[in-house]
């Protein structure tokens, strides 16, 4: 019997697909092509199908060797019907697109959709840093902050798969406006763009920091990676920026700890590459603010699967849904 499923990421910049051995979560092969989202949804669907066909052929397999396809979606979806409701960063927003049926019709395989960060969460829980945890929270920190929850050995989806938007917790009721419409979400304080913006402000204000030299005083060149490098090189301003971001993240993590008392909190995404610059203030806030659960028993760890977590998670999700259908 086949043990392969295909996991896909529908990204605003790139489409990625991987053949995954669902026995152990190993990626057998992975390919990526530009999304070209401005060409419209029909074109993107066809490009995804071509990517899947090329991937299968590259591995000298046929579709008979593949059980199903999982697709991580950066927006809201109807999980049961396989319909995309809203893609905020795609032209036209893709309202009510029957993506699962469209891909299934062109490949002959069952297709299952899941939010992209819930896919990351599921991948880390099944095969990565969350493996073995009965209850887990996942934060993915990049351009935004996404999240997901596993509660009592089950991915917690809530209404329409919307549970787990951990980046949109309010951590300052008077904070800046977030893209979601709320004010003071942790995303506006601790995402990659938020860290870069703090670096820009520091340079613009004339503070003593090497960030200015690193970007040749072109504020548009400042990135979170640049701020991170300055911090690791000992720059006090840059280290303070990460302490601020980590402290706000610590508040968000503390909220989750008292809400679901997880065994483990997994933190991934590009910003997590900062390591202890970010994790030290998170842990400090937890020590200072969490008293109603055994906080010392909660593990705060970095994600393990890197940029493959999404494709692994969506493939494993497809496998699980197929198992439930039997």
Q: Which domain holds residue 48?
A: 4-122+308-325
**Residue whose entry in the numeric block shows the structure tokens 């910003």:** 271
Same domain, 261 and 321: no
Same domain, 110 and 143: no
Cβ within 8 Å of residue 73, ≥6 positions away: 10, 84, 87, 99, 113, 114, 115, 116
Same domain, 78 and 114: yes
Q: In angstroms, how far is CA 97 from the centroid of its own chain?
A: 22
pLDDT at residue number 325: 75
Tens-digit pLDDT profile for the chain (326 aa)? 578 999 999 999 999 999 999 999 999 999 999 999 999 999 999 999 999 999 999 998 888 899 999 999 999 999 999 999 999 888 888 999 999 999 999 999 999 999 999 999 999 999 999 999 999 999 999 999 999 999 999 999 998 889 999 999 999 999 999 999 999 999 999 999 999 999 999 999 999 999 999 999 999 999 999 999 999 999 999 999 999 999 999 999 999 999 999 999 999 999 999 999 999 999 999 999 999 999 999 999 999 999 999 999 999 999 999 988 76
Same domain, 61 and 150: no
Same domain, 66 and 184: no
Same domain, 278 and 227: yes
pLDDT at residue number 286: 98
Same domain, 137 and 277: yes
Q: How many CB atoms lie within 10 A of CB 172?
A: 14
pLDDT at residue number 36: 94
Question: How many Å apart are CA 219 and CA 277, to the nearest integer?
Answer: 22
Same domain, 160 and 269: yes
Question: How many Å apart are CA 231 and CA 256, to the nearest integer?
Answer: 28
In a domain, 105, yes or no: yes
Same domain, 34 and 170: no
Look up the pTM and report it: 0.95
Question: Where is 56: in which H helix or E strand?
Answer: helix 41-58
Query: Domain tally for the chain?
Result: 2
Same domain, 166 and 264: yes
Q: In angstroms, how far is CA 24 from the centroid of its own chain?
A: 21
What is the per-residue pLDDT across 103-146, written as a single tens digit (0 to 9) for each? 999 999 999 999 999 999 999 999 999 999 999 999 999 999 99
In a domain, 23, yes or no: yes
Question: How many Å apart are CA 161 and CA 86, to the nearest integer?
Answer: 13
Same domain, 318 and 275: no
Same domain, 171 and 61: no
In a domain, 280, yes or no: yes
pLDDT at residue number 85: 93
In a domain, 127, yes or no: no
Give the closest residue to 266 by CA, choosing from 144, 147, 145.
147
Give the closest residue to 313 by CA, choosing from 92, 88, 128, 68.
128
CATH of the domain at 175: 3.30.420.40
Question: Where is 312: in which H helix or E strand?
Answer: helix 309-325
Q: Please state whether beta strands 264-268 and 136-141 pair in parallel, antiparallel, or not at all (unpaired).
A: parallel
Q: In what order do the strands lie in the sheet with 264-268?
A: 155-156, 145-150, 136-141, 264-268, 299-302
């Amino acid at each position: 019997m086949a043990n392969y499923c295909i996991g896909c990421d529908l990204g605003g910049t790139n489409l990625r697909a991987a053949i995954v051995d669902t026995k152990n979560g190993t990626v057998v092969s992975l390919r990526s092509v530009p999304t070209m989202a401005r060409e419209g949804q029909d074109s993107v669907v066809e490009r995804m199908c071509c990517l899947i066909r090329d991937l299968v052929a590259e591995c000298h397999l046929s579709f008979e060797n593949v059980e199903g396809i999982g697709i991580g979606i950066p927006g809201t979806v109807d999980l049961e019907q396989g319909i995309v409701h809203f893609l905020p960063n795609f032209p036209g927003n893709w309202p009510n697109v029957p993506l699962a049926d469209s891909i299934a019709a062109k490949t002959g395989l069952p297709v299952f959709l899941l939010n992209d960060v819930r896919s990351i969460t599921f991948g880390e829980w099944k095969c990565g840093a969350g493996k073995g945890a009965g209850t887990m929270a996942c934060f993915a920190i990049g351009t935004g902050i996404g999240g997901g929850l596993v509660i009592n050995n089950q991915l917690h989806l809530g209404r329409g798969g919307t549970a787990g938007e951990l980046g949109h917790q309010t951590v300052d009721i008077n904070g800046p406006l977030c893209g979601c419409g709320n004010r003071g979400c942790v995303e506006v304080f601790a995402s990659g763009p938020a860290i870069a913006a703090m670096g820009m402000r520091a340079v613009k204000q004339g503070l003593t920091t090497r960030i200015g030299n690193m970007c040749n005083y072109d504020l548009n060149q400042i990135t979170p990676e640049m701020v991170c490098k300055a911090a690791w090189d000992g720059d006090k301003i840059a280290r303070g920026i990460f302490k601020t971001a980590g402290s706000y993240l610590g508040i968000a993590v503390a909220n989750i700890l008292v809400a679901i008392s997880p065994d483990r909190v997994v933190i991934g995404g590009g910003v997590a590459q900062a390591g202890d610059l970010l994790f030290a203030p998170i842990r400090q806030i937890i020590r200072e603010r969490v008293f109603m659960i055994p906080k010392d028993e909660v593990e705060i760890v970095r994600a393990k699967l890197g940029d493959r977590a999404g494709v692994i998670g969506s493939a494993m999700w497809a496998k699980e849904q197929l198992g439930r259908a039997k």
